[in-house]
Homo-oligomer: A and B are copies of this chain.
Amino acid sequence: MKQYLKVDEWSIIEESFDPATHEISESIFSIGNGYMGQRANFEEQYSGKSLQGSYMAGVYYPDKTRVGWWKNGYPEYFAKVLNSTNWIGIDVTINDTVLDLANCEVKNFVRELNMKEGYLSRRFVAVLADGKEVQVEAIRFVSIKRHEIGAIRYAVTPLNFSGTVKLVSYLDGDVQNKDSNYEEKFWLEVDKAAAADVSYLTLKTKKLDFHVTSVMSFDVFKNGTKLDVQPAVAEREKYVSSEVVVDANQGETVAVYKYVANVTSRNFGLGELVEAGKKLLADAKAAGFDALLKEQVDGWAAKWKESDIIIEGDTSAQQAIRFNIFQLNQTYDGSDDRLNIGPKGFTGEKYGGSTYWDTEAYCVPFYLSTADSEISRNLLIYRYKHLEKAKENAKKLGFTKGALYPMVTMNGEECHNEWEITFEEIHRNGAIAYAIYNYVNYTGDKSYLGQYGLEVLAEISRFWEQRVNYSADKNKYVMLGVTGPNEYENNSNNNWYTNRIAAWTMEYTLEVIDYLKANESARYQELVGKLELKEEETKKWQDIIANMYYPYDEERQVFLQQDGFLDKELIKVKDLPQENLPLNQKWSWDRILRSCFIKQADVLQGLYFLGDRYDLETKKRNFDFYEPMTVHESSLSPCLHSIIACELGYQEKAYEMYLRTARLDLDNYNNDTEDGCHTTSMAGTWMSVIQGFGGLRVANDELVLRPFIPSHWTSFSFKVMFRDSRLNVSVTDENIIVTNETDVPAAIRIYDSSYTVNGNGEVKVERATATK
């Protein structure tokens, strides 16, 4: 772990160039707009180590490679997120020397990710082999207003000589995936044309025929004056380029403005791609770079208004939390309900797939509190739209009814191929049910239940109904062969969390049925018909709820993670020699499985989700038992521990856990940031501030706050959207001040007292009084 980034409130800044950390920076400085995104690869040629990555949301490849002995019911494919056309490329040649930071001295290097305004910039002086020095300034962004548009300004200034600057702007689809077996390439050329004004390249993916057309155009300026140049164009397989050569005297700046539109067959007909791309490109170019950048700055200002968190007294924490919020907003903006939140966003290809239970367990709470409720609603509808595929999936596994959502998916189909995950990590179904509860509880939007919610809930309950079986030995319902959120146990029996969330799903489904029966009887009748819901089913659910088996240790009075957990040697992480960590890099898989060590909250996940059902003492006993055995080798783990620690008053532990999640990527904590950022876990970091330190919950239609200030901070404040109002919650040593930034009044509770924050009004509570 090397901390090489400058601490700054609003930017991520790297102040010198080090090839050893370049791939990490490529991940961290990534930019995206929910539609496309890319790693911070250099525009100019770079022959050093680099992971090239340009990604178009929703474009993937179904890899059917098999190894070992395939089992019946295994998914058909593993979805690979595809590295697509490199559209940022600008090759630079100074006289006859190609600019390549791997082959020259680099001075005054500064790379900056401006999170406030949403762009990536870079400047440096390159000292070429012959002593010639050129200054380069590059800035680029992907527009959050015009999803298809990317824009680059790339400026070159000879500092100590006069000569020629050759600039080759290109689109290159002859790219690779790092995770490709046998160096297979996944793109085929469809069409291309290189011309002086506008060039384009259309590729399609193998097998699924996703088409992507990239259209580029560019202007060249010298010292601010546009040049009337006639570029030399070139084409080769999956490649088009335009070349200009400009004479530049010492001190003169040659700048290229490159505009690109990337359109895909997900949004346009095959015959329309080129024209659509050209049109979008022409509009953008007509607006011009500065206007596009202005749009970008304004767009990001609006985002920050909804989601910013201010931490006083700890700039490092300030930077970190903004980085997390920024990456989340770059990854998903809710505008396309076919999309979801990939675990690495647009920062890498690892893990494939786009949708995990991370979305429901971690991201939904973030978007609920920081954006219009439409966005989280769309995340829920995404699953509703996949209900038929989830039912097919359950059928494929031999269930006669019900739905099993996939563990990993691009389009509703399961696309991960390890049985212990695909078939067994079924708690995901519970998280998907829970997200419905969470959404309705947070927004008060009960209309969702009749419109979409019950169908999903009922099919999930039906799945649980069949997934348990009655144990004559225990005289209880048991659930065999599951993997819980703690993936360091596989194929275990009676995973407490899974049993609990299964029973909870059935409880909530019955509650929703009662609600609809009482309040939307026509729709309810319609749904009974559509679902063919039978009384014997709901009775069965009640029976399972009443007779579910929960492993429990009477002596310690803790829930047992699963049957047999106490057969393990119970060792604390702190008693394990450091050289064993991280276990997933140091230990073999079987040793991990046999050990007591926990990758990620499991019992605690249940106590978090169902927090209002368990008293503090219960939470304390379980936290005290499990936390010391938890290695937090999932990026999703520490945040939950932090939140529960806050609740238990373990403030130091809470802050320790917060630190592990907050700067996970910025400090490359898990030593894998070069593969991409841990995007979904960033929502967990946000949760640990808002739900942990802020103590935010929603109960009885009130927004509940139980804040405290970590001792390392002087104060903090955060924005939170709640039922059409936007509140700013400011926590200082003295006061808790909740300011309503909208016209809509909001019902809140601070600790145990209720208040109404009037439209544009404020509630100020003295902490000394309130916390008593």
Chain B residue numbers with a CB within 8 Å of A494 are: 567
The complex places the Cα of A82 from the Cα of B569 at a distance, in Å, of 45
Q: Flag if B590 contacts A481 (CB, 8 Å).
A: yes
Chain B residue numbers with a CB within 8 Å of A63 are: 67
Chain B CB within 10 A, most for which of A490, A491, A492:
A491
A258 → chain B, closest Cβ, in Å?
A: 36
The complex places the Cα of A566 from the Cα of B72 at a distance, in Å, of 25
Residue of B nearest to A397 (CB): B588
A490-B491, A564-B564, A585-B72 known; A424 and B590 CB under 8 Å? yes
The complex places the Cα of A21 from the Cα of B585 at a distance, in Å, of 49
Of the 9-residue stretches A218-226, A472-480, A644-652, which lies at the interface with chain B?
Answer: A472-480
Q: Flag if A587 contacts B181 (CB, 8 Å).
A: no
CB of A712 within 8 A of chain B? Answer: no
Q: Flag if B68 contacts A418 (CB, 8 Å).
A: yes
Chain B CB within 10 A, most for which of A67, A396, A424, A472:
A67
* Of B418, B478, B568, B588, the contact of A398 (CB 8 Å cutoff): B588
A125 → chain B, closest Cβ, in Å?
A: 42
Q: Flag if B588 contacts A417 (CB, 8 Å).
A: no
CB of A78 within 8 A of chain B? Answer: yes
* Of B67, B398, B588, the contact of A72 (CB 8 Å cutoff): B588
CB of A3 within 8 A of chain B? Answer: no
The complex places the Cα of A432 from the Cα of B423 at a distance, in Å, of 33
A 541-578 to B, binary, CB cutoff 8 A, 1 in contact else 0: 00000000000000000000001101111100000000
Chain B residue numbers with a CB within 8 Å of A566 are: 471-473
CB of A769 within 8 A of chain B? Answer: no
Residue of B nearest to A398 (CB): B591
CB of A2 within 8 A of chain B? Answer: no
A507 → chain B, closest Cβ, in Å?
A: 23
A181-B182, A567-B473 known; A491 and B593 CB under 8 Å? yes
Q: Flag if A587 contacts B65 (CB, 8 Å).
A: no
CB of A161 within 8 A of chain B? Answer: no
CB of A584 within 8 A of chain B? Answer: yes
List of 4 A-B pairs having minimum Cβ-Cβ separation, nearest first = A73-B588, A423-B590, A473-B566, A71-B589
CB of A470 within 8 A of chain B? Answer: yes
A67-B63, A417-B67, A493-B564 known; A589 and B473 CB under 8 Å? no
The complex places the Cα of A474 from the Cα of B590 at a distance, in Å, of 22
Size class of the A contact interface (CB-based, 8 Å): 35 or more
* Of B182, B480, B567, the contact of A478 (CB 8 Å cutoff): B567
Chain B CB within 10 A, most for which of A469, A590, A594:
A590
Q: List 30 A-B contacts (CB under 8 A).
A: A65-B181, A65-B182, A67-B67, A67-B417, A68-B78, A68-B416, A69-B351, A72-B586, A72-B587, A72-B588, A73-B590, A73-B591, A397-B588, A398-B588, A420-B420, A420-B491, A423-B593, A424-B590, A469-B567, A469-B569, A471-B566, A472-B566, A472-B570, A473-B567, A478-B567, A490-B491, A491-B491, A491-B492, A494-B567, A563-B567
The complex places the Cα of A181 from the Cα of B78 at a distance, in Å, of 14
The complex places the Cα of A73 from the Cα of B181 at a distance, in Å, of 20
Chain B residue numbers with a CB within 8 Å of A473 are: 566-567
The complex places the Cα of A72 from the Cα of B589 at a distance, in Å, of 6
Question: A residues near B, CB below 8 A?
Answer: 63, 65-69, 71-74, 78, 181-182, 184, 351, 396-398, 416-420, 423-424, 469-474, 478, 480-481, 490-494, 563-564, 566-570, 584-591, 593-594
The complex places the Cα of A420 from the Cα of B63 at a distance, in Å, of 23
A393 → chain B, closest Cβ, in Å?
A: 10
Chain B residue numbers with a CB within 8 Å of A478 are: 567
Residue of B nearest to A179 (CB): B66
Chain B residue numbers with a CB within 8 Å of A397 are: 588, 590-591
The complex places the Cα of A73 from the Cα of B589 at a distance, in Å, of 7
Q: Flag if B72 contacts A78 (CB, 8 Å).
A: no
A569-B469, A589-B423 known; A480 and B564 CB under 8 Å? yes
Q: Flag if A588 contacts B493 (CB, 8 Å).
A: no
Q: Flag if B481 contacts A593 (CB, 8 Å).
A: yes
The complex places the Cα of A181 from the Cα of B474 at a distance, in Å, of 47
Chain B residue numbers with a CB within 8 Å of A182 are: 65, 181-182, 184
Other than A63-B67, A73-B587, A494-B567, give 17 A-B pairs with Cβ distance below 8 A. A65-B182, A67-B67, A69-B418, A72-B589, A73-B590, A74-B589, A181-B181, A181-B182, A398-B587, A398-B588, A423-B589, A423-B593, A471-B566, A472-B570, A478-B567, A480-B568, A563-B567
Q: Flag if A584 contacts B480 (CB, 8 Å).
A: no
A739 → chain B, closest Cβ, in Å?
A: 46
The complex places the Cα of A469 from the Cα of B593 at a distance, in Å, of 13
A254 → chain B, closest Cβ, in Å?
A: 45
Chain B residue numbers with a CB within 8 Å of A480 are: 564, 567-568, 593-594
Chain B residue numbers with a CB within 8 Å of A419 are: 589-590
The complex places the Cα of A73 from the Cα of B423 at a distance, in Å, of 23
Chain B residue numbers with a CB within 8 Å of A594 are: 469, 480-481
The complex places the Cα of A591 from the Cα of B424 at a distance, in Å, of 10
Residue of B nearest to A184 (CB): B182
Chain B CB within 10 A, most for which of A472, A478, A588:
A588
Chain B CB within 10 A, most for which of A65, A396, A470:
A65
Chain B residue numbers with a CB within 8 Å of A418 are: 68-69
Chain B CB within 10 A, most for which of A184, A493, A494:
A493
The complex places the Cα of A184 from the Cα of B63 at a distance, in Å, of 16
Q: Flag if A72 contacts B181 (CB, 8 Å).
A: no
* Of B181, B184, B470, the contact of A66 (CB 8 Å cutoff): B181
Q: Flag if B589 contacts A469 (CB, 8 Å).
A: no
Residue of B nearest to A424 (CB): B590
The complex places the Cα of A72 from the Cα of B584 at a distance, in Å, of 6
Chain B CB within 10 A, most for which of A351, A470, A568, A594:
A594
Chain B residue numbers with a CB within 8 Å of A184 are: 182
The complex places the Cα of A461 from the Cα of B469 at a distance, in Å, of 38
The complex places the Cα of A150 from the Cα of B202 at a distance, in Å, of 55
